[in-house]
Amino acid sequence: MSLTINNNLMAQNAARNLSESYGRLGTSTQRLSSGLRINSAADDAAGLAIRELMRAEISSMRQGIRNANDAISMIQTADGALAVIDEKLIRMKELATQAATGTYNSDQRLIIDSEYQAMASEITRIANATKFNGIYLLNGNLSSPATNAANWGSGVDDVGGHDGSGLNSRGPMKIHFGPSNSSAEDYYYIAIGNSTASALGVGNASDRTRAYGPNVEESGGFSISTQQGAQQALDALENAILSKDNIRASLGALQNRLANTITNLSIQAENLQAAESRISDADVALEMTEFVRNQIITQAAVAMLAQANALPRMAMQLISG
């Protein structure tokens, strides 16, 4: 190589190598400081796309876990209210049994019936007042005429079923916990039957008039002011307790199902997070090795650039000598 003063090719070569090694040192520093192997699309475009999709799904799953936990809280609220209704029905059956015997006269049965009516009114009040986050649970708003729970909200066998097209959803409550919109994977419905006294068949005497009309003699479950009415109330109360138990059993099954859903989502999110980590996270040991290597190369390049910049002085010595 000729000794020239117009173009210092050694310095240019050293500068180019310094720029490249300094760039790699910057990449290693960025990865070590962020903990990520992929910090931009330039690092790994395909890996970045996969990572972002995984991150979106992980975030959606974690929100689904919170949704399922909220649904469990709602079910527990409804079940707690039904437990109180259970106590009222048991007391009503006790009163009906008392009024059904012939050792009481009509005045005494009227006194017994007054407590019976009060219990029925309290059941209706509880059913109409129980709500979760402003959503009424036991007044029939979440009930569905569908015979198959799998069809709730699908339009099949579900007249008046779930409708979420408006600001306020109607029909069975849709619990969404998955990242997509597949009815087999991402959501299902919770329907809670009407638990007012009249819906259970043991309403107040005034409920009987609304249900059967003023000219109908049917009074089973609506009044125990007569011995016959008390005897009929026993059967009505038996059916009411069974209806209430069916609602509670359905809620219990749904609560267990939601708990299993939360477990499954937690495992899925954990495994997906591990997969995302393998794609995205930096291997600190490997990156530290690269960092030290690039640091040494950069320092050597700086030293050689300084030496290359000093070479033209040799030409000056020849000129002046």
Say what the pLDDT of residue 144 is. Answer: 67
Q: What mean pLDDT comes out for the span 61-69? A: 95
What average pLDDT does the chain have? Answer: 84
Q: Which of 11-20, 114-123, 216-225, 258-267 has the lowest mean pLDDT?
A: 216-225
**125, pLDDT greater than 80:** yes
**33, pLDDT greater than 90:** no
**154, pLDDT greater than 50:** no
The 10s digit of each residue's pLDDT in 229-280 is 999 999 999 999 999 999 999 999 999 999 999 999 999 999 999 999 998 8
DSSP character for 40?
Answer: S
The 10s digit of each residue's pLDDT in 167-194 is 777 788 889 998 888 878 889 888 898 9
Beta-carbon count within 10 A of 39 CB: 17
**Residue 220 is inside which H or E element, if any?**
none
Q: Which tokens in the block code for residue 28?
A: 């290693």
Output the CA torsion sign for 181, 182, 184, 185.
Answer: negative
CA dihedral 288, 289, 290, 291 (to 10 degrees): 50
Say what the pLDDT of residue 161 is. Answer: 60
Residue 20 lies in a domain: yes
In terms of domains, do 227 and 314 share one? no
Say what the pLDDT of residue 146 is. Answer: 53
The 10s digit of each residue's pLDDT in 218-239 is 456 788 999 999 999 999 999 9
Confidence label for 157 from pLDDT (cuts 50, 70 and 90) = very low
In terms of domains, do 306 and 203 share one? no
CB 127 within 8 A of CB 195: yes
In terms of domains, do 204 and 263 share one? yes
DSSP character for 181?
Answer: -
Confidence label for 67 from pLDDT (cuts 50, 70 and 90) = very high
DSSP character for 151?
Answer: G
Question: Closest Cα to residue 301, out of 26, 20, 24?
Answer: 20
| Greater model confidence, 103 or 3 | 103
Confidence label for 215 from pLDDT (cuts 50, 70 and 90) = very low
Residue 181 lies in a domain: no
CA-derived radius of gyration, the chain? 38
Residue 42 lies in a domain: no
In terms of domains, do 130 and 200 share one? yes
CATH number of the domain residue 261 falls in: 1.20.1330.10
- Which of these three, 249, 264, 279, is where a domain ends? 279
Beta-carbon count within 10 A of 233 CB: 29
In terms of domains, do 132 and 205 share one? yes
Q: What mean pLDDT comes out for the span 5-34? A: 83
**Residue 135 is inside which H or E element, if any?**
strand 135-136
Tally of structural domains, the chain: 2
CB 156 within 8 A of CB 170: no
**36, pLDDT greater than 70:** yes
| Greater model confidence, 211 or 67 | 67
Specify the pairing of strand 187-190 against strand 173-176.
antiparallel
CA distance 80 to 105: 37
**207, pLDDT greater than 70:** no
Q: What mean pLDDT comes out for the span 37-54? A: 88
In terms of domains, do 111 and 24 share one? no
- Structural domain span for residue 290: 9-36+285-320
Beta-carbon count within 10 A of 308 CB: 17
| Greater model confidence, 156 or 1 | 1
Q: Which of 58-72, 144-158, 242-256 has the lowest mean pLDDT?
A: 144-158
In terms of domains, do 121 and 13 share one? no
**148, pLDDT greater than 70:** no
Confidence label for 101 from pLDDT (cuts 50, 70 and 90) = very high
The 10s digit of each residue's pLDDT in 295-316 is 888 888 888 888 888 777 777 7
